[in-house]
Amino acid sequence: MLSREQFELELTRRQTPEVRKKLKEGCVAVAGLGGLGSNIALMLARTGVKKLFLVDFDTVDPSNLNRQAYTIPQMGMKKTDAIQELIRQVNPWMELETFDGRVTEANVEKLFEPYPVICEAFDTPESKAVLVNGVISRLPGSVLISGNGMAGSYSSNLIRTDKKMNRLYVCGDGVHGISKTESLTAARVNICAGHEANMAIRLILGEKEV
């Protein structure tokens, strides 16, 4: 068994005291728990942030296994429950809050207002637009990190993090979205997830993309 003290000790061996102090107080919302969001959440859990707010309405099915963090025994589970189960196996001491439902124009402000950093990881343009517009127009204390363009087998180097507005960052290649003509692979989706998670960490640390 691993104690909380041992877990924290191992983090402090790999993070400077200043970084560890900030990260252990970091709170991040992850909206969408598919290929991007499930992996973003696990990366942040391994990093040792204080709290995650996990949002999705869906359940785990076989089509998710090629790129999402879930396992075969979790098929049929709500994604909010399944990702909590995985996180607890990595970092059982962090605070977790979930919302099992859809994000709408009516609830976006209430759901995300407490969170200074929000990772957008939705599949559809409509859902992305609701969250982006809601955060930018109605949540002045929050910064949004969005994903756009991670499909195909194109060069990893095309995926990048760009600052689009003062409170909006976009990760991806900006071109190759989900479609019937593009493949989806765990590798490229995870690269984009890593960009979102790393930008969330940088924001917690007070860093910004130029």
Long-range CB contact pairs, 106-110, < 8 A, 24+: 108/134, 108/135, 108/138, 108/139, 109/134, 109/138, 109/139
Give yes or no for residue 207 having a pLDDT over 90.
yes
Which residues pair with residue 97 across a beta bridge? 53
In a domain, 200, yes or no: yes
In a domain, 210, yes or no: no
Rounded mean pLDDT of the chain? Answer: 97
Give yes or no for residue 1 having a pLDDT over 90.
no
Cα(53)–Cα(40) distance, integer angstroms:
12
pLDDT of residue 177: 87
Give yes or no for residue 178 having a pLDDT over 90.
no
pLDDT in tens, 38-79: 999 999 999 999 999 999 999 999 999 999 999 999 999 999
CATH of the domain at 74: 3.40.50.720
pLDDT of residue 131: 98
- How many domains would you assign to the chain? 1
pLDDT in tens, 131-157: 999 999 999 999 999 999 999 999 999
Cα(68)–Cα(40) distance, integer angstroms:
10
pLDDT of residue 9: 96
pLDDT of residue 33: 98
Domain containing residue 142:
4-204
In a domain, 73, yes or no: yes
Taking alpha carbons only, the member of 82, 79, 69, 74 closest to residue 39 is 69
Cα–Cα separations (whole angstroms), residue 193 to 120, 121, 122, 139, 210: 10, 9, 12, 23, 20
pLDDT in tens, 70-121: 999 999 999 999 999 999 999 999 999 999 999 999 999 999 999 999 999 9
In a domain, 209, yes or no: no
% of the chain surpassing 90 pLDDT: 95
Q: Does pTM top 0.95 for this prediction?
A: yes
Give yes or no for residue 181 having a pLDDT over 90.
no
* Strands laid side by side in the 143-147 sheet: 95-100, 51-56, 27-31, 117-120, 143-147, 168-172, 160-165
In a domain, 56, yes or no: yes
In a domain, 36, yes or no: yes
